[in-house]
Amino acid sequence: MNKAKTEGTARRAYIRILTQYAEAVPSKTDPETALLGELIDAELLTGGAARGSTGQVIAANATGITVDGRLFLQRLREEERQDRLLRKSLKYVPILIGYVAGLLSPLLTEWIKSLLK
């Protein structure tokens, strides 16, 4: 196997595994508390998180945001902005294609006529 295929396969496996765990929020706590605990554990927020016997977050209290948390927030906002911009631009692509096709149709008609002569 070449290196690129191995890395692509591993990447897909990582995405699949992480997605599986990201979607599985413990039922004993609300999702926001679990996510808050994860942000505290990742040191993006300051505060404390209480865990149950199985290691899941059962309570969390944030007291502030860290520098890394601010940078992470900035990156998330930028990604959201880019995603919205892409979705908005893709909404107008069919209209633009129709407009260009309308402009080019007389030229294409004349070109096809010239080929058929």
One pLDDT digit (tens) per residue for the chain, 117 residues? 455 555 567 888 888 888 887 777 666 678 888 889 989 999 999 999 998 888 888 889 999 999 999 999 999 999 998 888 888 888 888 888 888 888 888 888 888 888 887
Determine the pLDDT at residue 5. Answer: 59
Determine the pLDDT at residue 99. Answer: 87
Determine the pLDDT at residue 71. Answer: 95
Determine the pLDDT at residue 46. Answer: 95
Determine the pLDDT at residue 14. Answer: 85
Determine the pLDDT at residue 70. Answer: 94
Contacts 24+ apart (CB under 8 A), 61-70: 62/36, 68/43, 68/44, 69/39, 69/43, 69/44, 69/45
Domain-wise residue ranges, the chain = 79-117
Supply the pTM of this predicted model. Answer: 0.59
Give me the phi and psi of 90, to 5 degrees please. Answer: -70, -25
Determine the pLDDT at residue 112. Answer: 87
- Contact between 70 and 45 under an 8 Å Cβ cutoff? The reply is no
Q: What is the DSSP string of 56-77?
A: -EEEEEEEEE-HHHHHHHHHHH
